[in-house]
Structure 1
């Protein structure tokens, strides 16, 4: 499958990063829009052949502070009802969960740092992540929507990834990050998250250097395999 892919960016320093290469290699012409763009409310999110929603520090439940969340959820629900190919990462995954009727809420602790997820279906595209430390950076979690398959868990949060058929993939973790210089902006903007999770900036930077390239390679292989299975 190929066509037009649209990346929704919720904050400038959370882009598609390492996932861009497999998306473009699959033949997609990639475009991007920020939620702060005046044109965002007028978009038809059912139109792109592939929709990619990235992360952000906001919570799905903070709709009074971020009015675009309600707009995006409404459009996203229509897209998911039409089973259009959709990928969500971190906040993007939480938006998918909410659009499918799940609850999104602040979890009991921060999950920040590099560690593997437990892959629950060894035949899924997430098999490429088995035993690979990937970046986690979140404090919110969600109930599992009805009709989806849980694909991965971690020792901190059970719900790390899910899919619904071949066209919907939601990833709580950041296997796209590990080579992108915007990682520095994450640490600069949210140093308290690192501390709350029980880590230090020095340890996180060392883990990024040690595990980042392997995480991105595994993440790219995962996305590459998922894209080959899309159905329209």
Structure 2
């Protein structure tokens, strides 16, 4: 029976025989399982990224493998994972560093959302076989520096900030099969992705309070070649932070949209379209 072939009005629809049933629309709700957060120091926090994830309804499962916390064998019970930065290197021989790099194979194999920030991005690059190394001339990026999104990067997020906050003196090559999302000058690879895994060399997670702590406790880093003086960090933040904050919110919305969605009645995960 075709409704288009009749002159039936709205009232006639109420008198349809019981054999004709309306289309069932099942709502799909976001996957709000906790996000795995990997930190590297006792007092580290997930900063602005953690705040944004909480606002989106996610609990944070915070773990510090450096201090004995285990990493899960699967991300089945998590919506995604973020590995943050730290003063150590992805090239360090410490057992926990090697374990974290090896563990990144889990979200890659399961094709689950993963985000690496600074050290976390370097660990992702190392897991994918790319070289992680200091700048050839010993230069560092400590402060705000320009970033140039690629066409692929703009497809992920349309509005990138002109400059983003950095705190590193090592960088990495683009992994084989990695897609370059943004590039810089002293360190050419600023952002990349492979599947649902993303790596950012910069720090969109840094809050105003974190910037105060880092520039106070890590003041010696600002003597490195290429580093910005402390007062420039706060001057530049006043100029660029609003755009970086908006970009982060846009990125996380897209990153979370890649997560599975849950059919509420069946409890079965369904990939986002």
TM-score grouping bracket, smaller chain normalisation? 0.7 to 0.9
Distance change >3 Å, CA 140–CA 45, structure 1 → 2: farther
Match of 2:209 in 1: 181
Structure 2: runs of 5 or more not aligned = 1-30, 261-270
1:223 is matched with which residue?
Answer: 252
Q: How far does residue 208 in structure 1 lie from its aligned partner after superposition?
A: 2.6
Deviations 1:51-80 (A, max 9, x none): 1100011111112xx320111122212331
**Secondary structure of 2:158's partner?**
helix
Match of 2:147 in 1: 117
Matching residue of 1:50? 80
Q: Does 1:107 align with 2:135?
A: yes
Task: Name the CA shift for 1:107/1:12 in 2 (closer, same or farther; >3 Å).
Answer: farther
Q: CA RMSD in A?
A: 2.1
**Preserved contact between residue 45 and residue 76 of structure 1 (Cα < 8 Å):** no
Q: 1:129 corresponds to which residue?
A: 160
5+ residue gaps, structure 1: none
Q: Which runs of 4+ in 1 moved over 4 A?
A: none
Deviates more, 1:143-152 or 1:6-15: 6-15
| Partner-residue secondary structure (3-state), 1:113 | strand
Aligned pair in 2 of structure 1 residues 229, 84: CA closer, same or farther (>3 Å)? closer
Q: What SS class does the counterpart of residue 61 from structure 1 fall into?
A: coil
Q: TM-score, normalised by structure 1?
A: 0.87
Larger radius of gyration: 2
Distance, in Å, in 2 between the alignment partners of 1:46 and 1:56 is 24
- Superposed displacement of residue 98, structure 1: 0.7
Aligned partners of 1:111 and 1:136 also within 8 Å: yes
Deviations 1:178-227 (A, max 9, x none): x3412112112222222212421122232234433432232222222222
